[in-house]
Structure 1
């Protein structure tokens, strides 16, 4: 069971975990032991509230397929348990990041003094470049 908030949690049947062999260098252990975890989570079939589902499906993330399935591969750690925990934490973080509502940015005007400072520095820079030019007789 994965708890997302006080009243939202995911059951074990919603998250499909399978052990696979990890990629990359690692000697004999990598070829023998299935320590990597492949996590699949179907958004549409889940018991998440509609708001969560809509926000997740609207994400432009390559980990979410067109069918609405989140696929995560965890192979950072050497043990299966640590990779399983890592995959679940990454799923939780993905869902929590998707439901955050960001503040609408209000457009502001630059202050008069900041405008003046910007123009002063532009004039100083221009004057420096004029003085660097070669002198014509």
Structure 2
């Protein structure tokens, strides 16, 4: 394992290979002899707290993926959709990479806007029409 095995997030950040713990287990489901004999499924474990990523990214990651984080602070990504261990390993790494990329992107701040004049006029017109409709439902004064 070398720095080429680091999980590249973007041009600025990457997760070093030594922060990732890969466990190979037997996959479930159909597959016959291959699935019974070979440990092709991958469990990729990454500790968010012990990571070398900036605190802001770790905080956003915790908020976004809090249901996927264990009590110990680990995120476990499993992949067993492929028959080969290498492809499952790559799928798990790609999935974790996508999760961290989402956390690395800052959400754009919403700029509050005001309704346009046409929208305000349509709203007031609709309110007046609704009020007139309700006024017509009232009792008729026959004393006049």
Question: TM exceeds 0.5?
Answer: yes
Counterpart of 1:54 in structure 2 is 59
Q: Which runs of 5+ in 2 are unaligned?
A: 1-5, 131-144
What is the CA–CA distance in structure 2 between the aligned matches of 1:42 and 1:34, rounded to whole Å? 23
SS at match of 1:92: helix
Q: How many residues align?
A: 123
- 1:69 maps onto 2:77 in alignment: no
Moved more, 22-31 or 35-44: 22-31
Residue 60 and residue 95 in structure 1: after superposition, are their counterparts in 2 closer, same or farther (change >3 A)? closer
What is the CA–CA distance in structure 1 between the aligned matches of 2:100 and 2:57, rounded to whole Å? 8
Counterpart of 1:101 in structure 2 is 106
Bigger Rg, which one: 2
1:91 CA displacement: 0.8
Counterpart of 1:38 in structure 2 is 43
Give the TM-score normalised by the residue count of structure 2: 0.71
Q: Which runs of 5+ in 1 are unaligned?
A: 124-137
- 1:28 maps onto 2:21 in alignment: no
SS at match of 2:59: helix
- CA deviation profile, 1:36-69 (whole Å, cap 9, x unmatched): 1000001111211222222222224432123321
1:29 CA displacement: 1.6
Residue 73 and residue 113 in structure 1: after superposition, are their counterparts in 2 closer, same or farther (change >3 A)? same
1:28 CA displacement: 2.1
CA RMSD, Structure 1 to Structure 2 (Å):
2.6
